[in-house]
């Protein structure tokens, strides 16, 4: 395993590129899969459906993978700066490839303006993850950060259901929204706030702690705003004027 890890670490950019291309191939494959009729008539919704479908695959893969890494090597939670396993390192490479592919898809699709929140998030994640990949530092921190992907499974499913015009009082939407808010608190907010606390507590002993702390604080603001919007729409819904401007991260 160590020999394999050493080989990967010699050419990390090549492996990140390979993973990015793999997710792009998946995106192309999904273009052959029929979309719901209500989605297929609108180019924006069609692109969004396929983009979210790729994101859902990434979340299913990396969310389970991240939790497994911590279960197998729990010391990584307490040493996010220096400790990691070969599996954890490969996880960060795979996820880096996905975020690069997804950022490129958003930009080159022409929907960057409508998806600026996702694009800003991706830029911050890519920078942090590539730092971990090339320096071999904060790999465990990236794995803990990927706990949010457990919640992303339900977050992406929610958006897919809304695209398909599934009623909010339907059984499937109700179950998903409860799992969504539950995992949002435990896996997304929990992981983000733990990493923020870790950076503050160990600030003086960590490399580039200020940069990572500023990044985490910005992400914290973003996820709290989105959480408020999520609760307002799914649990305290009130009729609001319809906005015809396309927006990726809809309420």
Quote the DSSP letter at residue 151. Answer: H
Q: What is the pLDDT of residues 172-231, one digit of tens each?
A: 999 999 999 999 999 999 999 999 999 999 999 999 999 999 999 999 999 999 999 999
In this prediction, residue 238 carries a pLDDT of: 64
Cα angle 73-222-102, degrees, rounded to a multiple of 5:
70
Buried b (16+ CB within 10 A) or exposed e, 205-215: ebeebeebbeb
Cβ partners under 8 Å of residue 238, min gap 6: 232
Tally of CB atoms within 10 A around 123: 12
Q: What is the pLDDT of residues 86-132, one digit of tens each?
A: 999 999 999 999 999 999 999 998 888 878 888 899 999 999 999 99
**Polymer length in residues for the chain:** 251
Annotate 84-96 with b (16+ C-beta within 10 A) or e (fewer).
bbbbbbbbbbbbb
The model carries a pTM of 0.90
């Amino acid at each position: 395993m160590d020999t394999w890890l050493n080989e990967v670490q010699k050419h990390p950019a090549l492996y990140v590129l390979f993973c990015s291309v793999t997710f792009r191939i998946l995106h192309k494959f999904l273009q052959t899969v029929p979309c719901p009729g209500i989605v297929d008539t609108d180019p924006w919704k069609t692109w969004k459906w396929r983009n979210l479908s790729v994101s859902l695959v990434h979340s299913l893969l990396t969310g389970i993978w991240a939790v497994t890494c911590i279960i197998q090597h729990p010391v990584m939670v307490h040493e996010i700066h220096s400790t990691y396993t070969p599996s954890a390192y490969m996880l960060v490479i795979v996820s880096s490839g996905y975020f690069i592919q997804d950022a490129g898809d958003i930009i080159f699709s022409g929907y960057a303006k409508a998806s600026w929140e996702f694009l800003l998030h991706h830029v911050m994640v890519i920078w942090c993850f590539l730092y971990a990949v090339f320096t071999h530092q904060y790999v465990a921190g990236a794995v803990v950060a990927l706990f949010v992907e457990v919640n992303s499974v339900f977050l992406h499913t929610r958006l897919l259901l809304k695209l398909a015009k599934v009623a909010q009082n339907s059984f499937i939407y109700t179950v998903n929204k409860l799992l969504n808010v539950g995992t949002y608190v435990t896996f997304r907010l929990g992981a983000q706030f733990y990493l923020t606390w870790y950076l503050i507590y160990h600030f003086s002993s960590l490399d580039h702690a200020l940069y990572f702390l500023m990044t985490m604080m910005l992400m914290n603001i973003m996820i709290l705003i989105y959480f408020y919007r999520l609760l307002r729409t799914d649990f305290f819904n009130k009729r609001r004027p319809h906005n015809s401007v396309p927006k990726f991260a809809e309420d």
